Amino acid sequence: MPAPAPLGVFDSGFGGLTIFKRVRELLPDYDYVYLGDNARAPYGQRSFEVVLRFTQECVDHLFALGCPLVVIACNTASAKALRSIQQRHLPAAFPDRRVLGVIRPTVEAIAGHTRTGQVAVWATPGTVRSESFPLEIAHHAPGVRLTQQACPLLVPLVEAGELEGPGLDHFISKYWQETAARAAAAGAAPDLLLLACTHYPLIQPRIRALVPPGVALLAQDALVAPSLADYLRRHPDMDRRLSRGGSCRYLTTDVADHFDRLAEVFLGQPVASEKLAL
Ligand code: DGL
């Protein structure tokens, strides 16, 4: 049996840090490797083939570092690549490794956060096009009715560090107006806005300020971390394969300085990342 190794967390860029922060708060004893593919972010407008290739390369890198378990802390990659990796790549190449995504834990929890069952979902164009949320909702929360809204410019703004200002406010207001109009046309009035992109919690204060107060906001960090803790309780064999030391290594495919600066803002503590050439 190989020596215990860190838990891997992957995102196209900075967004996964919102999930990772909560995971680390809840499960502080484990060792972690966070990998952000900042050089190739955003993934949101890319094709299935490209998102699958990029995601698989990053997951394979985390496997090469020994990670027995990788969390894909990105909706776009979960929507477009997770199923292929779980169903084809792992059985063929890494039968003893596991990869988890963020869509399933979100969908399993969503019904508990809406009174009316009418939910607006903001996500990248790729996540919306994949129809992953409606498909998973149909299985796991059939009473919930979704109004999906693609928000193509929010991730590029976050990746550029634009976490406030009139440019950001303009696009948040525009996306809410489009969401409300689409919901109204379908006879719906959402009481919940699901932030189905791990980058969006970073601009949640501005979203909260601009979306009507009667609409609650739900981010995935509060859902994914407890779901991971539950997974580890239910899979003691996997839990034993994860090392404990409370350490965290940060890898980025772009320059380390840029990652360190923004990651420190998101995590509230200094970060010293390493540049990874893929
Ligand atoms: N953080 C990713 C998500 O949750 C968005 C990423 C991107 O477009 O790269 O969908």
- The 10s digit of each residue's pLDDT in 8-60 is 999 999 899 999 999 999 999 999 999 999 999 999 889 999 999 999 999 99
**Structural class in CATH, domain 7-102+222-275:** alpha beta
Q: Give the mutation target among 198, 221, 224 for probing the ligand 1 site: most ligand atoms within 8 A of CB.
A: 198
Residue ranges matching CATH 3.40.50.1860 in the chain? 7-102+222-275, 104-219
Annotated active-site residue in 58, 67, 151, 197 = 197
Whole-angstrom Cα distance, residue 75 to residue 198?
Answer: 7
148 in contact with ligand 1, CB cutoff 6 A: no
For 212-262, write each residue's pLDDT tens digit: 999 999 999 999 999 999 999 999 999 999 999 999 999 999 999 999 998
Task: Tell me, in angstroms, the distance from the centre of ligand 1 to residue 10's CA.
Answer: 11
pLDDT digit string, tens, across residues 102-133: 999 999 999 999 999 999 999 999 999 999 99
Looking at the domain covering 104-219, what would its CATH class be?
alpha beta
Which DSSP state fits 164? S
Q: How many helices (H) and strands (E) does the chain have?
A: 14, 10
Pocket perturbation via mutation, ligand 1, pick of 43, 46, 132 by most ligand atoms within 8 A of CB: 43
Confidence band (pLDDT; 50, 70, 90) for 80? very high
129-158 b/e (C-beta count within 10 Å ≥ 16 → b): bbebbeebbeebbeebbbbbbbbebbbbbb
Residues 6+ apart with CB under 8 A from 171: 151, 153, 154, 157
**pLDDT over threshold 80, residue 1:** no
pLDDT at 48: 94
